[in-house]
Structure 1
């Protein structure tokens, strides 16, 4: 059993059961995968590796509640796309007019997954809910799962219950969905029966399910049966996209909401009036959670982020990155976007209504820090294991260099992390007590990973040059410029 003593550092953590944060000096003893003690002046026993944490901050690892990890393979190619453009060019596919995603090989999704999870670890993101929506075949699913297990990250791996459309225009149809359901049911049973849904022996990778179905109204009994089947086979987390539609109430009315459900985005809830409060109530009463991705939502026309609204209303909420081909891979950026958007939106309302200027900001750095750590852990029902620096919890920890160029002179670690820190300031990352980043570098050799990532990414770009994608996108509009879907 490995043992580490983080000596003389400053601990910064949210507090379970409140929206407060704590900052205090202490030593942190790690034994195996667990935080064993947090006290001042711990005397190291024989066999304990001491890590000098003077002028260092010790925080929980960040938690991502909505990320499409495999899309790292196309990083930086889709940053200017709107959501509708992304759906047509990237996601929807059929045998006649396939999208980027529909032509990706198992090897391509595997290297995208591995690289994306290593990027997350480099950025201090130790836990990820991976909404894996490229599981078109059993081979694609197994390739991504193998890469996930190999990465060393803590992952709720949620392959999607979906199939590629068999017709794109005038509106997509899914005529071959029955075949997809058959193999996906078999795989869920296989994965779920392995040690209660633990897909890695140490429990770092667990089984989830992504459930986005377009023909929701026409087959409610089928949805109810499939989700019951998944839950009976040790699927611990069910996630689905909710942007502007009525899905929250559909799930509630069908008896499908529960504490194991994480809805990404939920932008329809921004400043929702009293008439729509039943949606917030449905989330809170059921214990369902939101995975808010503010950088992505603001840039792709989803609508306005709801993360701080959720925190104020007592609804479980964490942050996420969403598409790695479009957005930053760190939670630091998401904390800043969420906080400053909420502040700016609040200030805009005050100015427009000619109200008296506030004495203080409504939302604080501690709120954003909580969303990126404990809030995410609560959303994934993992707060008993991760999300705070507490004795008895798993050792998913970060060590920041408070003397770095970015952080030197910062007094408050909470404000420092939320507003000033970057991945270069994270010296050490622990997952389950294992060091996965040391001296600001990944422990795993990155060179062969990035070599394959670049080569396979180039293969995809050759198959799908920008001008071909643009021409395909134009087919979705009529002569008056109106969308056909």
Structure 2
């Protein structure tokens, strides 16, 4: 269908990268924003949506999410990273069934859409069997979300104590590469009709001892071409390792990068490597702070000219919304800079250095730039994809807000989103999904979550962590 969003307040960025908000109509034809202007007459057959008293914004872009982990929601919010890895990533995760992965993936995509996230970089680290891989991709396509689907080329440990062992690594590498190459043949990695789901690669195993192997692997991925190559960096030296191996580039998104928060020199080699190679940073401030990964660096990246955006990471740890991430990154940056001023005795500035539109940009255009998709999404412009949100600006949260950027970042929630559109398709309207009945999804999700908890009760996981910690202490990453 085609749509005319009539008489709304368009909240976006102009071609000079300035935040702007103005009254206009938005005409959507097929998958595309066809026209943005005042008093557009609805062509025949176009559905008109009255947006009087509403905000029309770009859909949000999540640069780092493990989508399938919605099936473990609420499991990890009080854990440090090391505890989470031992009691989930390297134990529970490989034990899941394809059906558990599938419902987690579907529910995770719908959770993103429910919260106004229309594009996700999915670091899919649940690829422990061909059946799990197929199940995740099928659910992703069915959901209607725009996704850069990045399966993780890795295997789970077969033993944690007394020493780590990876006895299935060779077998996993063989079938995973075969699966990735098969997916790459689908219209050069366009995994769904129209390319709403694109193939990428998650590759966390670059290390000084396997540089030739990693160079060959990423050369292979870039030949597909993989839309994005992504990897975790917490407090380790991976950025330098990638640089020394000549693996950086504008298709690389590093998640977290908390190690950079302590590297304050303007000439720091890691920051310089990111900027010179146009590689990007994805911050997930809520869990980075909560799990002691380190301090978030998204706005520091902006200051240094490195493309960056925000992500949720895992909704087993925190909520699946970007509103929390925007608030936390903005207030953390403000607080950190203010603390330096207060403790140094310097004169306080007259205004804050960072404003709400900076956080709004991280969640929209910044994320689009990091995915090399800003020509398609991230702003409301004629010719771009129709990934749009309609907010009820008369809601209890927003009715008194004059500035939509402050309203969006500080006051809005999923309850205020009336319409979510991806690729010109309305996937949520009247606060309900259009492709699925949530009650049915929720029933299957709850059953899967209960099954996992029955196999892996808290007492069992607590014993596992205590045993590991007693012998090994806290692993560092």
Report the Cα distance in structure 2 between the residues aligned to 1:60 and 1:226, rounded to whole angstroms.
Answer: 35
**Displacement, 1:234?**
2.0
State the partner residue of 2:11.
12
- 1:267 to partner: Cα distance: 0.5
Q: 1:24-423 counterparts in 2 under 5 A?
A: 24-92=22-90, 99-213=91-205, 216-274=207-265, 277-423=268-414
Q: Cα offset for 1:174?
A: 2.0
User: Could you tell me how far apart the structure 1 residues matched to 2:15 and 2:261 are?
Assistant: 26
CA drift of 1:15 comes to 3.6
Distance 1:16 1:252, change over 3 A: farther
1:60-92 deviations in whole A, cap 9, x for unaligned? 000000000111001112110110001000011
Aligned equivalents of 2:15 and 2:359: distance in 1? 15
The count of residues paired between Structure 1 and Structure 2 equals 475
RMSD of Structure 2 on Structure 1 (CA):
1.3
- Measure, in 2, the Cα distance between the counterparts of 1:86 and 1:469: 10
Between the aligned partners of 1:352 and 1:476, the Cα distance in structure 2 is: 41
Does the 8 Å CA contact 1:292/1:306 hold for their aligned counterparts?
A: yes
Contact 1:112 1:453 in 2 (8 A): yes
Q: Distance in 2 between matches of 1:414 and 1:208?
A: 32
Deviation at 1:275, TM superposition (A): 7.7
Residues 275, 383 of structure 1: alpha-carbon distance in 2 compared, 3 angstrom cutoff: closer
- In structure 2, C-alpha distance between the alignment counterparts of 1:171 and 1:52, rounded to whole Å: 62
Q: Distance in 2 between matches of 1:132 and 1:17?
A: 35
Counterpart CA distance in 1 for 2:475 and 2:223 is: 40
Query: Match of 2:368, SS?
Result: helix
Structure 1 pair 121/484, CA: closer, same or farther in 2 (3 Å)?
closer
2:82 touches 2:475 (CA, 8 Å); kept in 1? Answer: no
For 2:345 and 2:337, the matched residues in 1 are separated by: 12
CA contact 1:158–1:238 (8 Å) conserved in 2: yes
Paired residues of 2:257 and 2:283 also in contact (CA < 8 A) = yes
Q: Offset of 1:429 from its aligned partner?
A: 0.5
Contact kept in structure 1, 2:326 and 2:359, CA below 8 Å? yes
Take 2:163 and 2:278, find their aligned partners in 1: how far apart are those partners?
35
8 A Cα contact 2:82 2:474, kept in partner:
no
Classify the secondary structure of the residue corresponding to 1:191.
Answer: helix
C-alpha separation in 2, matches of 1:144 and 1:284: 34
**CA contact 1:188–1:233 (8 Å) conserved in 2:** no
User: Separation in 1 of the partners of 2:266 and 2:464?
Assistant: 40
SS of equivalent to 1:65:
strand
- Structure 2: state its 5+ residue gaps: none
TM-score where L is the length of structure 2 = 0.97
Q: Within the alignment, does 1:22 sit opposite 2:20 as a pair?
A: yes
